[in-house]
A = this chain, B = another copy of it.
Amino acid sequence: MRRINWPLRQHDQPEFLLSLIVQKYGGSSLADAESIKRVARRIVETRRAGNEVCVVVSAMGDTTDELLDLAEEVSPLPPGREMDMLLTAGERISMALVAMAIANLGHQARSFTGSQAGVITDSSHGKARIIDVTPGRIRDALAEGHVAIVAGFQGVSQDSKDITTLGRGGSDTTAVALAAALEADVCEIYTDVDGVFTADPRIVPAARKIDRLSNEEMLEMAASGAKILHLRCVEYARRFGMPIHVRSSFSYREGTWIIDPEEGVSVEAPIIAGVAHDRSEAKITVVGVPDHPGKAAEIFQACAKAGVNIDMIVQNVSAVETGLTDISFTLPKTDGQHGVQALKAVQESVGFASLQYDDHIGKLSLVGAGMRSHPGVSATFFQALADAGVNIEMISTSEIRISVVTRDDQLDDAVRAVHTAFGLDSAEGEAVVYGGTGR
């Protein structure tokens, strides 16, 4: 990795080798004309410090929601191709405005759509996957000393040449993918908080900013409900070894670095990275399933066919006298109705007795790579929950994560108890506002 030049705000003389930085600004950093001008100043500072800068932008503030409303007024079930064509107008607007604001500061900037930037995807409208990134025009713009502004969230289908979108969190993925293709030194994800925290500061005022996370830990945090970075973006960064720096566009503080320790280098990482929580899931319990081989498979195949994503699964021990068992699983609340319908359709063939649907659950996850070598973690974890009077309904674990499902009204207490039990509380609460990163 080349040395990165941080903005030298006093004397604008680059002192180091030229670095290439990819910056991503989310919708909350681009809410209005004033925000766009502020972001432009920040980009120009990075450029003046002697770096090459490629910027990925989301749509401004509420643009995407406004476009979705318009689509809904016109058609209840719009074709994916046209929905993508519509939504990509949002980034087109913000990227042109950011480029204008940079030009107004006397620097040269050129904006590029996802297609122009060479973001090649498959044809799955609304949730396309990036197949390849061929950023020839970006390289040319950078070589000519321009700042390149790229529309996040969008690409062009390899087969049909149609415009595609990458789905929720897509702009983060665009940034990391571009950074990898350009062999950038770092991918900076700008948001409205100072970085990744040990817990949601709205729930745990004593939560601390995490200085450094491994990709593995960030993946588990993202999968467990930490909204600051999208899962796919972290997966991409891990695959290409691209360091991510999550930081605030409202301050110059160091944020959270997501970077794997170099091989052979011993890192004294803390045992626990943080506590994530998630209120977006519901629980379905399939009651009275015949305890025969293949019945669980039938149930989950029905869900898969309906496009329902399953998270945690628990199967009770079968009651010997009845030969029946219960299977519970969690799924996104937004998939709830689909899931219930899909299961009702197979009730007769599977032969289960009834369905229970519960959308008052919460999920808490404790994440940390250090857990691997510290066998006492589980004990401390469950003791903390017990002391706080939290009832546990489901448990699931990975090598570096423990997750539990609780009643939703006990979730905040649970998060605070676990956060304190693992010594994550800071001496004094940091004043931060926690929010999403847009798309």
Contact = CB atoms under 8 A, between A and B. Distances in A.
A340 interface: no
A67 to B, nearest CB: 7
Contact of A161 (B71, B111, B116): B116
Contact of A92 (B70, B77, B89): B89
Interface string A49-78: 000000000000000000100110111111
A275 interface: no
A79 B33 CA distance: 16
Given A71-B100, A89-B92, 9 more contacts: A36-B74, A74-B104, A78-B103, A81-B111, A82-B96, A82-B100, A85-B95, A89-B90, A92-B92
Nearest to A112: B85
A92 B97 contact: no
Contacts of A88: 92
Contacts of A33: 70, 73-74
Main secondary structure of the interface of A (DSSP, over half): helix
A36 B83 CA distance: 15
Q: Oligomeric state, in number of copies?
A: 2
Interface of A: 33, 36-37, 67, 70-71, 73-79, 81-83, 85-86, 88-90, 92-93, 95-97, 99-101, 103-104, 109-111, 116, 137, 161
Contacts of A78: 100, 103-104
Contact of A67 (B67, B71, B93, B116): B93
Contacts of A67: 93
Given A33-B74, A36-B74, A100 B83 contact: yes
Contacts of A161: 116, 137
Contacts of A93: 67, 70, 86, 89
Give the most central of A33, A76, A100, A104: most B CB within 10 Å.
A100
B99 A82 contact: yes
Contacts of A86: 92-93, 96-97, 100
A109 B81 CA distance: 10
Contacts of A96: 71, 82-83, 85-86, 89
